[in-house]
Structure 1
Amino acid sequence: MKVLGIIAEYNPFHNGHEYAIQKLKKKTGSDYVVIVMSGDYTQRGCPAIFDKMLRTKMALSCGADLVLELPVYYSTGSAEYFAGGAVSILNGLGCVDFLGFGSESDDIEGMSKVAKILANEPAELSDKIKEYVKAGESYAAARSKALSEITGLDGDSFSMPNDILGTEYIKALFLQNSSITPVSIKREGAGYHDSVAEGTLSSAESIRAFLEGKDYYLSSDEVADSPVLSQNVPGEVYSIIEDCLKNSNKSIMTIDDFSKLLHYKLIMHKNEGYTAFADVSSDLSDKIVANLRSYRKISDFTMLLKSKDIAYTRISRALLHILLDIKAENLAEYAGDKTSFTSYARILGLNKNASPLLKKIQECFRIPVISRLADSVKILDDMQLRLLNETVRASNVYDLILGKTDINEYSKSVITLQ
């Protein structure tokens, strides 16, 4: 039996994701596909546009055999923590053979070369980055330039989103001494940051932009019936989204839905500042305090705080960490020295034909596997239970803002599809 692991957000699931599952499964000759998926919050510092159970159903409908939840401290972390946390789950199952992902370059050798350098953190690299930042470069540009000089590789490959994430996956495999083999396929269709949906392989960002736009110029029915949606997601996913849009009072979540809650948190912590929260530097904390009187909604406030040395996504993550009470000291505990992450495998969904996979996991697992949250107290250690409880609390906040009447993560059953 060969098992393929994929790390994803599926925010939302689209044609490109289905293509990646099929292509990677064929390339690796895998029998089963395990997805480690962000829960209700994503790496760009925003809530997922649809909740995790709905997105789990999408994945299972289009080739996934098992979907596991990435805990909130990792799903909302930088690329390093996002990758490290997810790899620790796949590694902990003990039976995953491949880690597959899409990349702009499809250059595993080049990404591996960079990953080894990043894993070892040579003084030469940090010195060069400091030199270029001091000369006026942004941190991302300085890092790209320094890596290009050290490796002799084209610097463009260090600034492309999927290549950056792929490199972090490989780095995490090195640091965690994993036997899992990284495998990439070339990203097809629209670019990661393309914001306009066109053709049949549009980016998740462009599909989100279209769906979020319904609040301004289209009704839910018009969005569901639009070819922009039907052409860019698999038929099974289209049916799930159509049903959700047409039969729910509120289904699409955006960061601005959380604006009042964040404003409350910012007011409550203003006097002591915000440096206790993950990703919040003292400079950013001071900037938040100085601009708090201008706060109206999260998206506008993030733009107000944005500067050359602090990227929009970094600010988004920082504000989300304040909102969800994600503390820097807790992240340091959960992530350890980046060679060991606090992990467990919470099952969100599975296909009924995956019983041989589950049997294999039961034979090989090195971390607790949770199918019923009620069992977590019995099988998790103190640190794992803390991480799970913080992830549960964050999902309860999501459900509260979504308007669910039953705010109870323990009442959610594993999604099972044939």
Structure 2
Amino acid sequence: MRTVGIVVEYNPLHNGHLYHIQQSRKITGADAVVAVMSGHFLQRGEPALADKWARTEMALRAGCDLVLELPVAYSAQPAQWFAYGAVAVLEATGVVDALCFGSESGELAPLLRIARLLAEEPQALSGRLSGLLKAGLPYPSAYSEAVRSYLSDAGLAVDAGFRLDQPNHTLGLHYLLALLRLGSSIEPFSIRREKSGYNQTTITDRRIASATALRKLLSERAEVAALAPYVPASTLEILAREAAAGRAPVTWESFARPLLHRLLQSREADLAAFAEVTEGLEFRIRQSLRTLPEYSVEALLAALKTKRYTRTKLQRMLLRILLGHRKDELAPERLASGIEYIRVLGFGEKGRELLRRMKKTAAVPVIQSAAEGDWPYLRLDAEATALYSLAFDAPAPADAWRDYTRPPVRV
């Protein structure tokens, strides 16, 4: 059975994602689709709109066959480690033949050429990147400029008009770098993102809109039905069910009180120990708390924002503080050591067959519950679930322990 892997968040799953699933099967000739999906907290440092089991059901009903969890240690990281963790999960299954990701251009060749040149992490590139970051450029811009400068000096300029700083190009490059660094035989493919940009907040098409624009629409209209033209019927049904149960939509403001409690009780030295708190941001946090016009996450982000620090960087920092993730837990050396288990969130009939194959091919244990192991990153995921449950309208004690008690979703 030829199998393609995709990396997803589905926040929420929309018609553009449905197109990606369908095209991934088509262009790779795959019989089955394995999705590596972020859990409750996402790459831009945000909580998911709905919990990971609801979004797993969206994935399975839209055509995915097996959904695996990307641990929170990787899911809320910059592109390098987000991509590395996701590809490491796919590689560890032993059953994935191809990886298909969306990009702004749909062109694989330029990204692959750059990835082969950068796979060994040349020292000159690291030096240029460090200098640009110190000059105050946000990481995405700094990385793009450092790569362009490095390649230009080597006489290998990036193709004219090919923008490496576009978010899906950046992620795509890091997927390819991860494949090379892991020595993977998984074959990469890319499809062009159609009609809506990754961060586009406006809706310009009758059927396709970005997840960002849909979350904005939902916050403005406050009714799930507003999303109907842009999402599959199954997504709408699941979101309506979760909203009726008081489990969605979850936003950053759902965590304002626990976040502010941790910030107010922490001294500068305490804050400095958390992951993503860099370059004296612990002092800026404490100063900002004294001048907030109101106690909200949005007000805090506005107070912290500068040209140097993107909103995404600050959200990731606040998330790591909220979750209590320390620098030593998420050190590059630890992240680079790879995954220790594969967590199954859900599967269909073909997914069941893949799981049977994975019993023989997987490089690490394949588990369906947090009760099956005691790995440090699995504990972080269970703790993230417990925290996420506090955002529900009427959280029950059982909600906090669902990583131990809830079986995978079956469709």
Structure 1 length as normaliser, TM-score? 0.90
Question: 1:260: which partner in 2?
Answer: 257
Q: Deviations over 1:327-370 (max 9, x none)?
A: 1111127735x3x3133111111013433222221221111100
Match for residue 69 of structure 2?
69
Conserved 8 A contact 1:37-1:68: yes
Instruction: Point out the more displaced range, 174-183 or 136-145.
Output: 136-145
- 1:284 aligned residue: 281
Aligned ranges for residues 129-208 of structure 1 at < 5 Å?
129-130=129-130, 132=132, 137-149=137-149, 150=151, 151-153=156-158, 154=160, 156-198=162-204, 199-208=206-215
The aligned counterpart of 2:328 is 329
Whether the aligned pair in 1 keeps the contact of 2:370 and 2:382 (CA below 8 Å) is: no
Asked whether the 8 Å contact 1:144–1:156 carries over to 2, the reply is: no
Give the C-alpha shift of residue 156 in structure 1. Answer: 5.0
Correspondence for 1:382: none
Q: Distance in 2 between matches of 1:408 and 1:137?
A: 41
Q: Distance in 2 between matches of 1:28 and 1:267?
A: 51
Compared with structure 1, are the counterparts of its residues 282 and 137 closer, same or farther at alpha carbon in structure 2 (3 Å cutoff)? closer
1:29 aligns with 2:29: yes
Aligned to 2:401: 408
Letter of the 1:320 counterpart: L
Query: How many angstroms does 1:131 deviate by?
Result: 5.0
Relative to structure 1, the CA distance from residue 88 to residue 136 in structure 2 (aligned partners, 3 Å threshold; closer, same or farther) is closer
* Residues 280-334 of structure 1: CA deviation (Å, up to 9, x unaligned): 1032112112212134211221121111111110010001000001111111277
- Note the aligned Cα RMSD (angstroms): 1.9
How big is the shift at 1:133?
5.2
**Structure 1 segment 117-128 matched on structure 2, within 5 A:** 117-128=117-128
Instruction: Determine the C-alpha separation between the residues in 2 that align with 1:75 and 1:134.
Output: 26
Give identity over the alignment, percent. Answer: 36
Q: Per the alignment, in what secondary structure is the counterpart of residue 100 of structure 1?
A: strand
The residue number in structure 2 matching 1:46 is: 46
Aligned to 2:216: 209
| Residue equivalent to 1:381 | none
Per-residue deviation at 1:121?
2.1
Q: CA deviation at 1:375?
A: 2.4
Distance 1:114 1:239 in 2: 42
Does the aligned pair in 2 maintain the 1:14–1:234 contact within 8 Å?
Answer: yes
What is the rounded CA distance, in whole Å, between the counterparts of 2:167 and 2:232 in structure 1?
24
Q: Secondary structure in 2 aligned to 1:331?
A: coil
Q: Secondary structure at the match of 1:11?
A: coil
Native 8 Å contact 1:189 1:201 kept in 2: yes
Contact 1:79 1:168 in 2 (8 A): yes
Q: Secondary structure at the match of 2:271?
A: coil
State the Cα distance separating 1:138 from its structure 2 match.
4.3
Residue of structure 1 in register with 2:228 after alignment: 230
SS at match of 1:102: strand
What is the count of residue pairs matched by the alignment?
398
How does the TM-score come out when normalised to structure 2? Answer: 0.92
| Matches for 1:13-24 after TM superposition, within 5 Å | 13-24=13-24
| CA separation of 1:404 and 1:135: change in aligned 2, threshold 3 A | closer
CA contact 1:4–1:32 (8 Å) conserved in 2: yes
1:308 corresponds to: 307
Say which SS state the counterpart of residue 40 (structure 2) adopts.
coil
Q: CA deviation at 1:68?
A: 0.8
Give the C-alpha shift of residue 224 in structure 1: 2.9
- The amino acid across from 1:304 in the alignment is A
Tell me which amino acid in the other structure corresponds to 1:316: Q
Maintained 8 Å contact 1:88/1:343 = no
Matches within 5 A, 1:393-404: 393-402=383-392, 403-404=394-395
> Equivalents in 2 of 1:33, 1:326: separation in Å?
32
Which residue of the partner structure matches residue 243 of structure 1? 241
* CA distance in structure 1 between the aligned counterparts of 2:384 and 2:128, rounded to whole angstroms: 39
Distance 1:79 1:137 in 2: 16
Whole-angstrom CA distance in 2 between matches of 1:108 and 1:181 = 11
Contact 1:306 1:312 in 2 (8 A): yes
5 Å-filtered alignment, 1:373-412, equals 373-377=370-374, 385-402=375-392, 403-405=394-396, 406=398, 407-409=400-402, 410-412=404-406
Query: Per-residue displacement from partner, 1:225-274 (whole Å, max 9, x unpaired)?
Result: 33xx11100122122222333x2234200001111101111122224242
Q: Please give the secondary structure, in 2, of the residue aligned with 1:158.
A: coil
- Unmatched runs of 5 consecutive residues or more in structure 2: none
CA contact (8 A) 1:212 1:254 kept: no
Pair 137,252 (structure 1): closer, same or farther in 2 beyond 3 Å: closer
Distance 1:307 1:323, change over 3 A: same
